[in-house]
Every structure is written in C-alpha cells, then in structure tokens.
C-alpha cells in the first residue's frame, strides 16, 4: 500500500473513532475513600448503587482498574437509535457532543429553531452537521429562548450513548469521585512517580483543574499528606471550577493564581527556578477529545497553536529547578503540537528526554503488556481490553517513521511548516520514550505526553 493510501485509511479510521465516545468513561476516586490503598467496600457498594439507580442501569455497569488504584469506569451504553420526533432543534457542536452521552441542554445552547414549541413538547436534538444526538422534553417555550441566559432548556432522554447521571449524585457532591479521562490520569501518575516529599509542583495552564486535583490526590495516596501545588491559569472564570473542586474534594496545600505564564515570574520573582515538577498542558487543537462531531480547524490555526506552545515552553523553563522534571502533554493528535515540541525542547532548550515508559512500568508493572479484563460493551461496541490502551499508541513501526518522521521536522520534509528549523529532529529512539494513546481502541481518547528533565 502506498504512503498516501495508508495515510488516508488511517485518517478515516481516526475520524470514525472520534465520532464515538470511548467505551469506558473514566472516574477518579478520591484517596480519602480508599482503605489500605484499595476501594473500600462501602464506596464500592455506593458506586454500584449509583449505576443501578441510573435509568437503563440494567444495561450499564461499572468496573475497577486492575492496577491503577484510584480509577474506575462506567461502561458506556450505546449506540442507541432514538426515535425521530416531528419537532427538531439544532444545537451548538459542544452541547451536542455532551448531550450525545447523556447531558441535558442548558442555555444558551440553541443555534437554529425553525419550529415553534411549548413547554413539555418532545423534540429531537441535532448537531450543526445534522447528527441526531438525543431526544428531549422542553422546559421552556420557544419564544423564551432569547430571554434566558442560563438554566436547563431541554431535559434529554433517548441519548445515542448513556452513562449514569453522576453529577447530580450524593457521591459526587461528597467528593467520592470526579470525572477525569484515563490518559491525563496516567500522565499525572508518571510525573508524580518522581515526586519526593517537600517538592513543589506547578500545574501550568491548569484550568479547569482536573490535573491539579489528580496530582494532589496522588500525592496524598503516596504520602498521606497533600503536596504543595501552585495552579496557574489566565482564566479566572475557569479557575472557579478548580476552587469548587478543591472544596468538594477537601484538598489542601494548593495555591491558585490567575495569571499568564509569561507574567508569573514578574508577579512572583520568588518562583524563578523554584519548582521541582511542572505539569504543562498548553492550549491545543484537542483533536483527541471524543466524541467530536466536527473538525473545524485550518492549517493556520494548527500553526498558531504550535507557536503558542513553543512560547509557553520557553517561558516556563525558567521556573523549573535544575534537575527538575516537566511533563508536557496534550489532548491532540498532530505531530506539530507533540513530537515537534519535544524536539524543540531537546534541541533548543537543552532538556533531556526521559522515558515515560520506564516510569509507567515501574509504578504499574505489566499493566500495559497483557490485557487483564475483557469487557463486552453493549450494542455494537467492540470488545475492549484493559492493557491495550497504549498498543501501537507509540510511533513504533518503521512504516510510521517513513511517513511522519523522515529524518527531521524540517521545511523540505514538511512543506509549509516554516517554523521548524533544519536541525530539529526527534529520532526513533527518542520518539519511543514518548507516549501516544491509541485512538482506535474503544476505551481511550487520543492523547500524548513526554517527560523531560532540566540539566
């Protein structure tokens, strides 16, 4: 098969997978509810009760990770084939992607409303690309759409995919668990495998704060005390979500700062070469997040993300202590935003690339070598395996390198990438130290991370 045919086939597979949620919806359990580093029987029963109490719960189940102690998963029910009602409502893409797996429609999520409806009508909800994502019962009249800025507009049912309505549960309110995708959870474990008591951690570009909370909980799990974390983001509004989670989860020793990374050292000169560990999850094109019903980015936007990520890397390196670790991670799939940034960090910033796989295999031996549990999902979902999330996720075949790593990330190899200099190179040996998550497996999203160390 020629390179072009192979690439087109791979892209088609990726786009098809992106349209569906992962088969396993990951939840992070608060270590306060673990006994002897395992889930207490009471918490286990409460989680089971949450699933069984969910509408359609007899088709939904919960499983616990065979090796990672603070993770459990809802098995996603679907795809279902909802009935089409006469009244249709078009909603924005982001709302549609959430509603597809069970969320309700909140204001102001409408885009187009060609039909009049009144409170109590049954309607069908569609994405802008006319994908039927759910049905619902309206909570307002159509003539009230422009009068309300927030609140529930449509209570959904017959969603294409279903998970328990965990956000309204007492378990969630009590801080027993949080929704958090598997891949960034593993990235947090990798960074925290290098944590020593007394180390100070920076979570950069942190909002809405899932990784800040995960780092804090892992530190508590390891040492029975919370590590010192500084969580920084430019969006005060999004940091409010973190502040609420810190209170809900009863976390401690976290300082939340509203600031751009480039201004942090000026506002806080004491932070120069101050941090032992840094988590850098910069803004990215988010091509690995699923379900994703549309892809709207242009080449210029991908390039702009790369330029932003490169600037953030340059700014943040001055905050890291000598011999300190930085975990670079994104929820996207592009070479430009992932391997190219790692290449830049090695060749231009002088960082050492450390094998993330060594950390994974040291803390979770054999977790990613052989499948531990077989899960048969509902409807037409394929069998999924624990242990297979990273299979082929790392660019490890010669065919892959022929296609995307032809010696270097340079202008003559990658036409139009004018920002990459001739000597930027991530060879096969170094690429295998990074981790890519296999989007073609049903139980993960697309993700990338690499562990680097300052000289």
Positions annotated as catalytic residues are 331
Distance CA 163, CA 101 (A): 6
d(CA 73, CA 182): 9
Dihedral sign of CA atoms 317, 321, 324, 330 in order = negative
Q: How far apart are CA 53 and CA 46, in angstroms?
A: 10
């Amino acid at each position: 098969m020629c390179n072009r045919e192979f690439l087109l086939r791979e892209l088609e597979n990726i786009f098809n997978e992106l349209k569906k949620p992962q088969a396993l919806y990951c939840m992070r359990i608060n270590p306060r509810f673990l006994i002897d580093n395992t889930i207490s029987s009471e918490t286990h029963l409460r989680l089971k009760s949450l699933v069984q109490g969910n509408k359609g719960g007899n088709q939904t189940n919960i499983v616990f990770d065979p090796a990672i102690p603070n993770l459990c998963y809802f098995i996603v029910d679907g795809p279902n084939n909802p009935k089409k009602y006469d009244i249709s409502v078009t909603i924005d893409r982001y709302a549609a992607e959430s509603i597809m797996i069970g969320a309700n429609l909140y204001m102001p999520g409408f885009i187009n409303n060609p039909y009049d409806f009144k409170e109590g009508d049954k309607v069908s909800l569609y994405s802008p690309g006319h994908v039927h994502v759910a049905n619902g019962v309206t909570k307002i009249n159509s003539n009230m759409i422009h009068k309300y800025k927030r609140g529930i507009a449509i209570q959904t049912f017959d969603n294409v995919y279903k998970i328990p309505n965990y956000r309204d549960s007492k378990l969630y309110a009590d801080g027993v668990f949080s929704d958090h995708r598997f891949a960034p959870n593993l990235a947090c474990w990798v960074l925290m495998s290098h944590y020593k008591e007394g180390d100070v951690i920076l979570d950069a570009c942190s909002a809405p704060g899932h990784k800040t909370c995960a780092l804090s909980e892992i530190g508590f799990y390891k040492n029975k005390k919370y590590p010192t974390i500084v969580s920084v983001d430019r969006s005060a509004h999004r940091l409010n979500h973190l502040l609420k989670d810190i209170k809900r989860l009863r976390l401690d020793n976290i300082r939340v700062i509203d600031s751009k990374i480039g201004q942090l050292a000026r506002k806080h000169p004491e932070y120069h070469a101050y941090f032992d560990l840094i988590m850098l999850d910069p803004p990215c094109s988010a091509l690995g997040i699923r379900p994703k019903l549309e892809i709207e980015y242009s080449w210029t936007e991908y390039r702009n993300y790369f330029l932003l990520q490169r600037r953030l890397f340059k700014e943040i390196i001055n905050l890291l202590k000598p011999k300190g670790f930085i975990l670079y991670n994104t929820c996207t799939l592009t070479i430009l935003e992932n391997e190219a940034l790692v290449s830049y960090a090695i060749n231009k910033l002088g960082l050492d690339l450390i094998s993330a796989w060594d950390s994974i295999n040291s803390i979770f031996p054999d977790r990613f070598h052989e499948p531990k549990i077989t899960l048969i999902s509902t409807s037409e979902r394929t069998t999924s395996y624990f242990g297979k999330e990273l299979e082929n996720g790392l660019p490890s075949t010669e065919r892959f390198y022929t296609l995307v790593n032809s010696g270097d990330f340079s202008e003559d190899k990658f036409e139009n990438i004018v920002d990459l200099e001739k000597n930027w190179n991530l060879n096969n040996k170094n690429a295998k130290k990074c981790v890519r998550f296999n989007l073609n497996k049903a139980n993960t999203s697309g993700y990338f991370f690499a562990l680097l160390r300052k000289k």
